[in-house]
Amino acid sequence: MAEGTDGPVPLGDDARRRVDELIAYHSPLAHRLTTERTSYQSQMIPVTSYILVACCEAFLRYPEAVRTITDAMDPHQVGAAGRRPGSRINTVHLWSIANFHLLGRKVLSQFDPSLDRPERTLEVLEFWDAAARGFRGDGSRSADDSGGTIRVYDDDDVVAQLATSAQPLADDERAEVRRHLASLVSYLFLLYFDTRVGTGDTGPYDLGALGLGPPGDTMVVRDLYQMGRSDFPWSDVAEDMPYQHLVAGLVLRGVDARITDFGTVVTDPEDYLDRLVGLSLFTTDDAAPGELRPVPLDELGAVAAAARTTERALYRRIARMDTMEMVRCGAEVYFTFLRPFAEVAGVSEAIDWTVPRDVAPPMVDLLVAAGESVSETSLPDETPETYYLPTSTP
């Protein structure tokens, strides 16, 4: 997009129609995902408050950030780089690039309509469009487009490796695996400040149709991200986690599964782990990009025990924070959803990830207060078509 001295030039009619088309794509999808999601209202962390702060920062700053990434690497190629195990370029991060900006637009434009500059929103949404197409590789842009599927591994051997390495589970082993997986999910939920983005599901894979298992067997692939120390300052308590990243192949029998754009599996029957018949476990630590290194299943218990120990230390760390420190930390989790894309393009250090930065302190206080008065489980008042409004007439 051509730029003037103060950023992108105002839009012509065709470009305005394009941004409204992209907004209209996201509006019903965001409405439905928000309505359907199962939420947990934290008793400690002000989740809604930090989401509002992070999204307002994304509205103000993502246009420049995606411009920096795009100048370094084609967004389609950036998205395609996520088509491998262990990559944090994934479906929930992609969904969030567009929707964090749009939610911030929704909030801040109520206070100052002049901030709603369609040319800036178009930059973010065009970046999302290209990166999402590159990530999915089948012409679609979301799991919603493909009936709840996210099958993104470039190499079919990865799927075969995960499926054929799965060890069958007896009833007592299944119960033990469930406990260990629950411990890891609980730990990552807290590490990512009461969000689910520490785990991500892809698939499902019909193993019978692929010749990798009997008819009726389905595999869901679960990534467990950044379990050890990372860029998050509070993650120093995770120094002793034995793995930074794990990939689990969950083989389910007699389960109808779909994956949402939040990277979460939804199944019929709902208790899919009761029908877990096989499990494989790998890591991408110390492996070449896209390669998997086997992890013996008998190590899962030790990893889960380390997670429980770390979670207790992390809980004590967070409990000592005041509200604004929690807001800053949670906002950092959300705002840096764009960071994996910048890392692939080699420009992560060129972007300031400090948050909050551009939202004025009085507005931050207002957003925090607003978040404290609204339950995270509240359903949207808008219709699917008006969840995000189109641009105003020029």
Write the DSSP symbol of residue 203: E
Tokens matching residue 205 = 């894979």
Contacts of 358 (CB under 8 A, 6+ apart): 57, 60, 61
Backbone angles phi, psi at 66, to 5 degrees: -70, -30
Scan for tokens 């012509």, then name that residue. 12
**Integer Cα distance of 303 and 67 in angstroms:** 40
Scan for tokens 């929704």, then name that residue. 106
DSSP count for the chain of H helices, then E strands: 12, 10
Helix (H, G, I), strand (E, B) or coil at 386: coil
Helix (H, G, I), strand (E, B) or coil at 201: strand
CA 33 to chain centre: 13
The three-point CA angle 380-384-387 to 5° equals 60
Domain boundaries, the chain: 11-148+322-373, 156-319
Contacts of 122 (CB under 8 A, 6+ apart): 1, 8, 11, 15, 18, 19, 22
Q: What sign does the dihedral 339-340-345-346 (CA atoms) show? A: positive
Q: What is the pLDDT of residue 3?
A: 45
pTM of the entire structure? 0.93
Q: What is the pLDDT of residue 35?
A: 82
Alpha helices in the chain (DSSP H): 13-36, 47-72, 75-80, 91-111, 118-136, 156-164, 171-191, 207-210, 300-319, 323-335, 339-345, 361-373
Cβ neighbours of 225 (radius 10 Å): 21
Tokens matching residue 214 = 């009997």
Q: What is the DSSP secondary-structure string of 89-126?
A: --HHHHHHHHHHHHHHHHHHHHH-GGG--HHHHHHHHH
Q: What is the pLDDT of residue 5?
A: 40
Tokens matching residue 235 = 């993650």
Helix (H, G, I), strand (E, B) or coil at 265: strand
By the 8 A CB rule, do 335 and 356 touch? no
Give 3-state DSSP helix, strand, coil % of the chain, rounded to 5.
50, 10, 35
Closest C-alpha to 85, from 168, 173, 167, 153? 153
Tokens matching residue 27 = 């509006």
Closest C-alpha to 276, from 372, 127, 174, 173? 174
Per-residue model confidence as pLDDT tens for the chain (394 residues): 334 445 565 678 888 999 999 999 999 999 998 887 655 556 789 999 999 999 999 999 999 999 999 999 999 999 999 999 999 999 999 999 999 999 999 999 999 999 999 999 999 999 999 999 999 999 999 999 999 999 998 778 999 999 999 999 999 999 999 999 999 999 999 999 999 999 999 999 999 999 999 999 999 999 999 999 999 999 999 999 999 999 999 999 999 999 999 999 999 999 999 999 999 999 999 988 879 999 999 999 999 999 999 999 999 999 999 999 999 999 999 999 999 999 999 999 999 999 999 999 999 999 999 988 875 555 567 888 899 999 875 4
Q: What is the pLDDT of residue 4?
A: 41
